[in-house]
Amino acid sequence: MLWLNVDVVELLPRDSAAARKARGAFFTPLPIAEHLAAWAVRGNPLAKILDPTCGEAVFLQAAGRQLKALGRQGSDLDNQLFGVDLHSASLDVAMALLEDEDLDAHLLVSDFFAVPTPDQLGGVLPYMDAVVGNPPFVRYQEHTGDSRRLSVAAALRQGVRLSGLSSSWAATLVHACGFLRPEGRLAMVLPAELLTVGYAEPIRAWLRRRFERVHLVLFDRLQFEGAQEKVVLLLAEGSGGCEAFSLYHVDDAEDLAHLQAYGHWNVTPAAEGKWTDLLLPARQRVLFKQVVAEHFRPLSNYGTSELGIVTGANSFFTLSERTRLDYGLAERQLKKISPPGTKHLKGLCFSRRQWEALREAGERVWLFHPDADDATTPRRRYTDHGEALRVNEAYKCAIRKTWWRPPVVPAPHVFFTYMSHRYPRLIDNSASVLFVNSMHGVRLHRGAANEARAALPLLCLNSVTMLGAEVHGRSYGGGLLKMEPREAAALPLPSPAALARAWAELKPHKAALERQLKAGRWTEVVKRVDAAVLGTAAGLSGQDVASMLDAARGLRERRLGRVAEDEHASL
C-alpha cells in the first residue's frame, strides 16, 4: 500500500544520478541489506520493520523475504513492513519490486522528520520491533530549510541536541529510534564519521545511554559505488545504556556472512571525544593507549595553541618585497611574517635566513600594519588600492574600527601546520616572525622543558604522535587532515623524561635528519625518531615500534582512501 503526503514534499517526476547524490541517496549493496534485515527480524515471524528512508526498498525486500520464509504471506506484510521516503518515484519502483516477489508494505511519501513518532498526536505508524536502513548522507551545507528545522526538532524530542554542522544522517538515526519498542533493534548503515567527527559527539553519547547492546562493523574497503565515504554498520538493541561495544573488522560486504553471533569483541569507547581509535585493531589500540599514558603528554602541557592573524583578505594584507617597493612603504609600516601557506616549511625550523631568501624570491613576507594615525602618502595610496578592490567591505575588515589594521598576536615560539595530507608538524620559529591563519602557533609555557623548542619539531615525527593526529584530528574532502586548536592541544608528544632521553640520542644527528626531511625522505626520519622515542625512551620492542608505525600508516591510508603515495614523495 502506498500512502501519499503531498503537503510535505514536492513530488519529483524523474530521477537521476545527480539528483540521487544531491539528496544523499546511495543505494545499499544487497549483502549488507540482507545481513542487517536478518539481524533485525531474528526469526520473529510477527516482527514489524521500518525503513525510515527506504528509497527503492532494498531493506524491506530483504526483510520481507525473511518473514516470508517464516511462513508469512504477502498480504500479511502490509501490517509488518513500513517505509518512508520523500521521493515518490523511488516508492513507485519500490512497490513494483515488492509486488514482483509477492510482498507488500505500507509506504509513505513524506519527509521522515515530518512523520510523528507513535507517542505523538497524529502518529500514523505503530511502534516497531526493528528499524533498518541507510539514512541519506547530506552534509550540513545542503541540509537546510524546513527539513533541517524539522530534523533538529525531531532529534531534540529524543533528547539529542545536534550541532549546526550535523549531516542529515545524524537526525535520521535519532528520530528513527522514537519508533522502536523498548527492546527493539536498530540496524543502520552510517558514514564512518560517526566515529571521527566532532559534530557526532552527541550521537556517540546518546548511543551509550540509549541502548543495552551496541555492535559496530567496520569495513576496510569502500562499499558504495560513486561515494568516497567509508561506512560502518551500527547494530543496537535494548535500552538502559551500556559501557562496552562489540567491534568487528571485515574487508567488504561479502565477509558479513562469516560473522558469528554478535557480542564477542568488547571495546569501551571514550566517554567523550572521537572514537577514531576504534578503527584500529584491538592490539594496536591497547598498545597506543598504554604508550600514551606512560610516556607521552598532550601538547597543552608544553604550550598554548593559538590561531594565526585573521586579516579578512590575505591577498591584500600580505605583501611581497616588490609590492612594498612599488608603493614606497617603509618597513616600519609592515610586520615580518611567514608567508601564507606551509609549503615553504620543509625543515625543522624557520630561520631569519630562510625568511630573507623567501623575500628575495618574491614571496609575501610582509604584513601591512601601519600605525592607526599613519597619514603618509604610501599608506593612503595602498589603502586606496584596497578600497578600489572593495577589501574594506569584507566582513572582518568592515567590523574593525580601522579596516586596514588587522589585530595581530605576538610571534609564537613554534609553528603548527594544522592542515596536511600526511600529518601535522611543529617548526621552530627561530626567525621570530608573525603568521596568518593558514597555520597555528604554539606559545611554550615558562615551565616547559628547556630543550622543548629545539627538540619537539624533530621528536614529534614519531609514529605515536602521528597516530594521535589521526585519532584527534578531523578528515576533510580529499583526505585532508585538520586539527583545530582544541584538537591540537590533545596531540600526544613525548613526556619531558622521554624527550630528554630521545633528544640526547638524536641531537647530534639533527642536521643530517633535517636534510633527509627536506629531501622528502620522511619515512627514514620517522623510523630513526621512532627508534629513539619509542625504543630508547619508551622501551618498546622492535615489534611494538613497527606496530605503531603500521597503525599510523593504516589510519592515514584509510583517511586518504587509497594506498599511500611513494614513501619518498615530498612533504
- Give the separation between CA 224 and CA 240, rounded to whole angstroms: 33
Question: Does the pLDDT of residue 265 top 90, yes or no?
Answer: no
Compute CA 292 distance to the chain's CA centroid, rounded to the nearest angstrom: 22
User: What pLDDT is recorded for position 264?
Assistant: 53
300-339 pLDDT, tens digit per residue, is 999 999 999 999 999 999 999 999 999 999 999 999 999 9
Mean pLDDT of 476-504: 89
User: What pLDDT is recorded for position 139?
Assistant: 53
174-227 pLDDT, tens digit per residue, is 999 999 998 899 999 998 888 888 888 899 989 988 998 899 988 877 545 544
503-527 pLDDT, tens digit per residue, is 999 999 999 999 999 998 989 999 9
- Give the separation between CA 138 and CA 151, rounded to whole angstroms: 12
Helix-, strand-, coil-residue percentages of the chain, each rounded to 5: 45, 15, 40
Mean pLDDT of 536-554: 95
The Cβ of residue 295 has, within 10 Å, a number of other Cβ atoms equal to: 22
Look at 143-152, 294-303, 382-391, 404-413 and tell me which has the smallest mean pLDDT.
Answer: 143-152
b/e per residue, 34-66, with b = 16+ CB within 10 A?
A: bbbbbbbbeebeebbbbbbbbbbbbbbbbbbbb
Q: What percent of the chain has pLDDT over 70?
A: 88
User: pLDDT-derived band of residue 137, with 50, 70 and 90 as boundaries?
Assistant: confident
401-455 pLDDT, tens digit per residue, is 999 999 998 999 999 998 877 788 999 999 999 999 999 999 999 888 778 999 9
User: What pLDDT is recorded for position 162?
Assistant: 86
Strand positions, DSSP E, 327-466: 334-336, 366-368, 414-416, 419-420, 426-428, 440-444
- Give the separation between CA 111 and CA 130, rounded to whole angstroms: 20
User: pLDDT-derived band of residue 562, with 50, 70 and 90 as boundaries?
Assistant: very low
Mean pLDDT of 337-352: 94
Spell out the residues 6+ positions from residue 364 whose beta carbon is closer than 8 angstroms to its own.
314, 318, 319, 320, 337, 339, 340
The pLDDT mean for the chain works out to 86
**Can you tell me which residue has the cell 622492535?**
542
Q: Per this entry, what is the length of the chain?
A: 571
All domains in the chain, ordered by first residue: 2-279 (3.40.50.150), 280-308+409-571 (no CATH), 312-408 (no CATH)
- DSSP characters over 437-482: TTSEEEEE-TTS-TTHHHHHHHHT-SHHHHHHHHHHSEEEGGGEEE
User: Are 391 and 397 a contacting pair, CB within 8 Å?
Assistant: yes
